[in-house]
Amino acid sequence: MIDYFKRALAADGILTLTIDQPDAQANVMDRHFIDGLEHHVNAALADDAVKGVLLTSAKSSFVAGADLKTLEASLAEPKDAATLYAECRPFSALLRRIETGGKPFACALNGAALGGGFEIALACHYRCAADVRSLRVGLPEVGVGLLPGAGGTQRLLRMLGVARALPLLLQGSQLKAQAALEMGLVDAVVPAEDLLETARAWLLGSPDPTKAWDRKGFRVPGGQSPLEPAIAQLFLGSNAATGAGTLYNLPAPQAILSCLYEGMQLPMDKALDIECKYFVKLNLDPVAGNMIRTLFINKGKADRLMHRPQGVERRVHRKVGVLGAGLMGAGLALVAAEAGVDVVLIDRDQAAADKGKDYARSRLARDVEKGRSTQEKMDATLARIVSATDYALLDGASLVVEAVFEDRAVKAEVFARAEAALAPGAVLASNTSALPITGLASTLARKDAFIGLHFFSPVERMPLVEVIRGDDTSDEALAHALDFVAQLGKTPVLVNDSPGFFTSRFIGAFINEGVAMVAEGVAPALIEQAARLVGYPVGPLAISDEVGLDLAYKGALQRARDGGPGYKPGASVPVISELVVRHGRHGRKNGQGFYDYDAAGKRLWPGLADIWPRAENQPSLEEVKARMLYAQLVDAARCMADGVLLDAADGDVGACLGVGFPAYLGGPFAAMDTLGMPRLIERSEQLARDVSAERYALPELVYQMARSGQSFYGKRALTPPARRKGEAR
């Protein structure tokens, strides 16, 4: 056994167990961790010299959660309920032994304790937290399709009652130290230097190591039974709200409700059995596996810059430039300044540049007003942004991002001026969402220093950056661009150059199918509601209005001018053109698009039926849902076959974090694996026959995968076809 615990027994009988995983920056829960904890707990309970146990960590956090490598390996293994239950229930039983072993356990939380780490803390009889900014406690498992499986639901229920426990569990809340103290989830918050002594003092006070729920006459706070009128009403309302919020695509919230409903009617040990059974059930559901892989494992790999070229020295960017002070450029300047980077924000005139800085000022002032920041921090951040028109101020910048209009001529002009001001080794990037990077680089003297950095709006809230490597982009430019993304705390995905890259063409497939159905006479309300039921945050018509129908029209014209092998305009182009050119409907920006907008809200424009009369026989809800979903799955498969994507992980993370693909599906490649290649082929071919042979034509790659039994993940995972630099698009 590899022991992660350092044991120190003092003369006063207090045993300190310090978690210190060898050769790791954080403690993670793997087999060695669990075996070590069980060994030391059993030994402490059996040793008469031990009067109390103090659990703490030698790392900057307490326990970081599950081990990623173990999790990833488990996703590739076939599962059955009996085996999973036999693996999971013993850990819950171990924490119960801490609780009922007859000796007091205190937990000294020096840093974050989330998920299983916080479940360990909850099993202890006393929790003391250090008053440090980085400390968070909570049970966020619902965010990856699971629930706490080692007593978390039942201990929160018994400590807080249903009304207070439910929101924490359903939202996966992560609480700061003071908030946790006010909730009663920690017993004390003290300066970091006093943490261990405070916990030791409690242990030396001869405390009673019996939890409240193990004493006779215990009642759950706020109500003991779900049959009590107030509690029954709470469950009814929560069940309805959860169903409405998730549209029953996410099983974890419903399972959490069931755990509390059933658990409060049972003694603790029986309730823990119930919790473990629901935990196993969720683990067997593909939703949890897909969410864990994409939102936890693959996102973690992306955050650690899995595509960063080796052998290139890391660069800390201290000064950057942003060209264009519109919404995107202003947001980027704000995020960079908040990350401690000096920013030169340039626009065509001083008023436009100042307006971009004012955007940062208003956003920061809102944070100060709400108590999320201070005036001093706001002033320091604003001092790092220089709004200007003079490109000479870019001298000394290690990276510049262009964020001007999607117009090749305008971009070429600002590129030339920026390149002239930049020193050798600086990176020049474009925030274009669709124009091929290699083509944009054609006017530059140093094409190897050019790359695409596609941010999403609003930059300060959207976590994703799509990094686009052009045919001439060097390893150094790629590495230093990724370093910049990491400095901003964003998640990068890497793609090869192509019109629309991945995210724009992927969301475009969804929008194209929805808009095409309008022209076919499908009721717009049916289209929008079907999209919501699949799990998209908003429907394709609403997205079109938000992006701007006029921008989509201009983009279609540009794409037509660019042409290229096999180019054909999308089925949505005639609809967009009709609305923009003949009816002047540009989307939300002018209050007229697929929807009408006014102070009361938005409503689908009745005039759509005059232009495209409703078909007498409307398609079924399931057919409309399938058309939008499979249009995207097919397009994602093409992106992989064409070498636009380097890895399925990039596609799944990019789809979920960038363009709102339903997280419960885990991204298009996780969704295709869940369906299986034969079923994907069968349904796509049916849609090709019924709707559009062109839009639903799968690439040969998928048929090869079906014949060889391959998938995008797992033991028989596909090796993505690598496109060579300079290969024709």
pLDDT in tens, 245-284: 899 999 999 999 999 999 999 999 999 999 999 999 999 9
User: Which token pair is 105?
Assistant: 């356990």
Q: Quote the pLDDT of residue 66.
A: 77
Active-site residue, from 44, 111, 112, 141: 141
pLDDT classification of 725: cutoffs 50, 70, 90: very low
Mean pLDDT to the nearest integer, 622-630? 96
Q: Say what the pLDDT of residue 726 is.
A: 37
Q: What are phi and psi of 54, to 5 degrees?
A: -115, 120
Q: What is the per-residue pLDDT for 556?
A: 85
**Closest listed residue to residue 569, CA positions, set 684, 686, 695, 468:** 695
Say if residues 419 and 328 touch (Cβ distance below 8 Å).
Answer: no
Q: To the nearest 10°, the Cα dihedral for 68, 73, 79, 83?
A: -70
Q: How do residues 202-229 score in pLDDT, each as one tens digit?
A: 999 989 999 999 999 999 999 888 889 9
DSSP classification of residue 102: S
CB 405 within 8 Å of CB 431: no
**How far from 591 is each of 428, 497, 526, 602, CA to CA, in Å?**
36, 35, 22, 9
Residue 141: active-site member? yes
Q: How far apart are CA 425 and CA 449, in angstroms?
A: 7
66 counts as catalytic = yes
Output the CA–CA distances (angstroms, integers) from residue 249 to 113, 202, 288, 535, in the order listed. Answer: 29, 46, 11, 7
Residue 651: burial class (beta carbons within 10 Å; 0-12, 13-18, 19+): buried
Q: Is the pTM above the cut of 0.85? A: yes
Q: How confident is the model at residue 154 (pLDDT cuts 50, 70, 90)?
A: very high
- Residue 423: other Cβ atoms inside 10 A: 10
pLDDT category at 565 given cuts 50, 70, 90 is low
Contacts of 78 (CB under 8 A, 6+ apart): none
User: If 0-12 CB within 10 Å is exposed, 13-18 middle and 19+ buried, where does residue 445 land?
Assistant: exposed
- What are the structural domains, with CATH classification, of the chain? 5-284 (3.90.226.10), 319-473+487-496 (3.40.50.720), 503-643+646-708 (1.10.1040.50)
Catalytic entry in 44, 64, 66, 516: 66
User: Which residues sit opposite 126 in a β-bridge?
Assistant: 106
- Reported as a pLDDT band with limits 50, 70 and 90, residue 719 is confident
Among 116, 172, 329, 570, the active-site one is: 116
Whether 622 has a pLDDT exceeding 80, the answer reads: yes
Q: Which of 119, 275, 419, 513 is catalytic?
A: 119
Q: How many CA atoms lie within 13 A of 689 on its CB side?
A: 5
